[in-house]
Structures are given as structure tokens and as C-alpha cells.
């Protein structure tokens, strides 16, 4: 099974990823997460803005998927601490995200992720998170 297939299988084990309709496009170690627009994701009907919880959850799942892609994890990563900075309103459009693993230790990992819509240079939100990880050893 390829790493892309493994990441897709990992996301299928997370019910919230299915609820959001999230998918990942993977090329080598580079992954772009995609959150297709759905009416149920609208949080502010007056300005047709995406719900902040959906954006935050999408970023968290993107960070977890990136960790799963680049690390040989024995178990799914568990969030220790995360901060989401909401930078502008998410419009009623598809949302994209990329994450980068800043540190992958044997027990803790640090990840940064950004979400955008039409222009990657104008992010909608950014996430900084630390996860508890269990990296496979040669004995596993």
C-alpha cells in the first residue's frame, strides 16, 4: 500500500474527516488537503462565511494527516496543544490547506498548517500544534 493510500485509509478511520468531506491530494511527501464547499459548513449565513470550527477541525486533521504521511507512526497522533489564528473570513468556497512538520520526535511532534481559498498568499487561518506521537521502532 502506498503512503497516499495509507493516509487515505487513516482519514477514513476519523469520522469527523468523513463528516467534513475532507480529502487529500498527495505527491511524494507533499500533501494538499481539500475541504470541498458544502452548505452545512456555513457558520454565518448573513455573510456566507465558513464556520470557524469547521476551519479549525480541517486544519487539525490536515496536520495529523501530514504527520501520518511523513512519520512512521505506530498509533494516530494525539493533540497536546493547538492554536488556530483566524486571519480572514472563509468564503462559501472550497478550502485548501498544507501542513509542515517542524519537529518529529519519538514522542512529540510540532506542526504548522495554513488554509487558503483562491490565493495561497492570503491564508484564511493558520494552526500551530503539538501532538503526542509514537514512532515505530525497528523492533515493532
Q: Is the pLDDT of residue 127 over 60?
A: yes
Say which residue, 2 or 127, is predicted with more confidence: 127
Lowest-pLDDT range, 20-34, 35-49, 105-119? 20-34
Q: What is the pLDDT of residue 9?
A: 86
Phi, psi of 52 (to 5 degrees): -60, -35
What structural domains and CATH numbers belong to the chain? 3-132 (3.10.129.10)
Residue 68's CB is within 10 A of a number of other CB atoms, namely: 21
pLDDT of amino acid 123 = 98
Where in the chain does DSSP place strands (E)? 23-27, 30-35, 42-44, 49-50, 78-86, 95-104, 108-116, 125-132
Q: Which residues contact 138 (CB under 8 A, 6 or more apart)?
A: none
Length of the chain: 140
Tens digit of each residue's pLDDT (9 = 90 or more) over 28-68: 778 999 999 999 999 999 999 999 999 999 999 999 999 98
Burial class of 89 by CB neighbour count within 10 A (0 to 12, 13 to 18, 19+): middle
Amino acid at each position: 500500500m502506498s503512503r497516499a493510500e495509507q493516509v487515505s485509509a487513516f482519514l477514513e478511520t476519523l469520522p469527523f474527516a468523513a463528516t467534513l468531506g475532507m480529502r487529500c491530494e498527495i505527491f511524494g511527501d507533499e500533501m494538499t488537503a481539500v475541504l470541498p464547499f458544502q452548505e452545512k459548513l456555513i457558520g454565518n449565513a448573513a455573510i456566507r462565511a465558513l464556520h470557524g470550527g469547521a476551519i479549525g477541525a480541517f486544519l487539525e486533521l490536515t496536520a495529523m494527516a501530514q504527520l501520518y504521511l511523513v512519520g512512521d507512526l505506530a498509533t494516530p497522533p494525539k493533540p497536546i496543544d493547538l492554536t488556530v489564528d483566524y486571519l480572514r473570513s472563509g468564503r462559501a468556497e472550497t478550502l485548501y490547506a498544507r501542513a509542515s512538520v517542524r519537529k518529529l520526535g519519538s514522542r512529540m511532534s510540532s506542526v504548522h498548517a495554513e488554509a487558503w481559498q483562491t490565493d495561497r498568499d492570503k491564508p484564511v487561518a493558520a494552526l500551530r500544534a503539538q501532538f503526542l506521537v509514537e514512532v515505530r521502532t525497528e523492533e515493532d
